[in-house]
Amino acid sequence: MSPTQPATAELALPIGDEALAVRLRGRLAEVEAALVGHATSSFAPYVTEAAQHLLAAGGKRFRPLLVLLAAEAGEHPDAPEVLTAACVVEVTHLGSLYHDDVMDEAALRRGADSANARWGNHVAILTGDFLFAKSSELTSLLGAEAVRIQAETFTRLVEGQIMETVEPGPDDDALQHYLEVVAGKTGSLIATSARYGARFGGASAQVEEALTAYGEIVGAAFQLSDDILDVASESAESGKTPGTDLREGVPTLPVLMALASTDPADARLHELLRADLSDDVLHAEALDLLRKHPAIDEARAYVVGRAQEAKALLHVLPEGSVRSALEAFADVVALRSA
């Protein structure tokens, strides 16, 4: 499968203005072609094969698309630096997937064998490192300030990945701990995507600040809506097996909200949520109780509230297709958890 997507590929963000959509598809096709080169070793075909493995498996390219859309809020959205920045965030994200799959012992990624399943953990980890190095090379082309932003983003991303493996202490708020993990692992790079687009597209400092905050909130909310879908959706709707995170003991937003309940009637649910749910019968019982619990509606309300916060930040942009597209994406994040 070729890693290059056609210019007519479906966009990961809802774009109501067809002229804007056509422009973004064309720019995204340029990014896609450039990504192949950035995931290429200058002397080792084996490294190229490993680095392009997940690239060829596809993906929504949400982060580079957000860079391109945010750039439309500036005076020169077609600047070459915008394309470079779009590649930076996607190559960084791609590298993180190699490491994620090793940590999760995942066998599949985007419908294909994960790199660790195909070549082993050592190659997968080093391939992720190779891609991080390539993203650093690209960032250096954007100037010292971009290097600083990228370094801070990468720090937060790695901290989030590490903290995901650490249980909160007895005196720590488990929900707050989880929200900080999500903010680091997911929100940080999406925030930088919006920030880079605004910055290199020539937007004002006020717009750049607003879009950075918007990206942080929407990025985290998107992950949290996944948490809800894991519990509430049927496999025919989501394409995933319901309760996968629940079975694997992964703490998610509705689970943590349910565990925070002090209602004595929740004793059985609490017992199950703290138990090994690899057993199908226990898993089905826990999933049924959680679906009926007020924590689901509480989690949905939280995500909707965050989406509204993100939309409120967009008042600094003039009304038009760019603002509408960003508002629509925040709405999609909220509605997909409903």
pLDDT given for residue 110 in this prediction: 66
Query: Which pLDDT belongs to residue 5?
Result: 43
- For residue 56, the model assigns a pLDDT of 86
Is there a common fold for 12-148 and 204-338?
yes
Residue 208, both tokens = 């750049």
pLDDT of residue 202: 98
CA dihedral angle for residue 231, residue 237, residue 239, residue 245, rounded to 10 degrees: 0
- The pLDDT assigned to 23 comes to 96
* 10-residue mean pLDDT series, the chain (338 residues): 45 90 96 95 90 86 96 97 98 91 74 80 91 97 98 96 90 94 96 98 98 97 92 63 84 95 96 94 96 96 96 97 95 78
Indicate the DSSP class of residue 154.
H
pLDDT computed for residue 17 by the predictor: 93
Fold of 204-338: Farnesyl Diphosphate Synthase (1.10.600)
Residue 215 near residue 192 (C-beta atoms within 8 A): yes
- CB atoms < 10 A from the CB of 152, how many? 12
Per the confidence metrics, is the pTM higher than 0.85?
yes
Q: Crossing angle for the helix pair 18-38 and 80-104, nearest 10 degrees?
A: 60
Domain ranges of the chain: 12-148, 204-338
C-alpha 19, offset from chain centre: 26
| Range 12-148 has CATH code 1.10.600.10 | yes
Q: What is the reported pLDDT for 9?
A: 55
98, 131 Cβ separation under 8 angstroms: yes
The two tokens of residue 251 are: 């703490």
